[in-house]
Structure 1
Amino acid sequence: MTTTTTSTTSVASVTLEVADPEAARRFYTAFGVESRIRLRASGAPSTGFRGFTLALTVSGPATVDAFVAAAEGAGATVLKPAARSMWGYGGVVRAPDGTIWKVATSAKKDTGQATREIDEVVLLLGVEDVKASKQFYAGLGLTVTRSFGGTYAEFAADGSDPVKLALYRRRGLAKDLGVPVDGTGSHRVTLGGAAAPFTDPDGFTWEPAGPFAS
């Protein structure tokens, strides 16, 4: 674990590191999330599961279907077709740059037509020890809002933040996304909002970042 004296209270930005930023920008514009992320050119080696996912929470099944269809139409691979589950309704796609996205709703029936509105974006980090990582982030100033033992933890975000941070046991996250758990190399994601750069116990990097701008 990297020792650091920095602090942070929430995620101010999420930067995806991609081989072709212009191609990625076109995809994310078609997908409908271009205002929620930043893009940076990177050729860092990365194979298999990168250890994280970005999850969109939306209003109903029709909106889930609309986002999944938009992603697939722009070149994404569907890892899990949208379907009902005990928790609601959702699907999983992999963007052309390799980032995995989950789109879900707690509603099992539509109460209106599909929209392009996103209620919430959650960055789920797959970690080896949820309790240890939760303690690490709490020590940096993040406030835990939900926690389920060694399985899951979620942190507060203020109203100006585009993304909420959560921790999920790595093996469980891979299973939920429908991908093998193995992966090597760069995570290909950087979190912004720290007072000074640092790396967390699972190798996720943070950097200083001002207010999010699209």
Structure 2
Amino acid sequence: MAPGFARVHTAVLLACLGVRSPVAPRDSPRSLLSSIRPSTELSGSEAIELQLLAMQGGDVDGGAELWMRFAHRRFALAAIEPWGAPALARAVRDPASQYALLTDRRLCVDFPSEAVERVTDAGLARVWHEVEMLLVPDGAIDGPFGMDGFTAAKLGWECEWDATRGWLTRRISWHDFRPAFRPGIGQEEWPRVCG
């Protein structure tokens, strides 16, 4: 990805969030990403989109650091040990890792169903989102919201509410449909209903 794209992409992301960044436009994408913090103003889906978009901006290290800021203290992705921003960045850069999908330039994200909200027995507010990760060939997007692509993975993304920080990622169940990664780390193959 061109460095200019990363800068513009992150600046647009900040503007959409209403973040007034003291960072000059010539500064690095990482310094722009470092301006983004969890907020009680964001919905669960907006917090998820921010994390996914951060990996698309061309600065994997900055994106991984943003993921850590939006992570619940008990969150870790499967098979990344020890957990932390450097380990996540290494996994995302590794083409043999299912997590490399996060930086694929053809990636589009959809939330195909309504969020499911619940309160645990301990009184903790949680929200679950189905996140569909599509690989869309260049030129296959019809306008800003229409897409025609291959479902590469489906994620069950659970966030937990923190009164001072907003929605934090608690757990991600990653079911991969790409032949090289099927069914995904720690997942079981889903039975095929048709064919």
Normalised-by-shorter TM-score class? 0.3 to 0.5
Identify which of structures 1 and 2 has the higher relative contact order when contacts are C-alpha pairs closer than 8 Å and 6+ apart.
Answer: 1
Name the TM-score, length of structure 2 as normaliser.
0.32
Higher helix residue share: 2
Higher strand share: 1
The normalised TM-score by structure 1 is 0.30
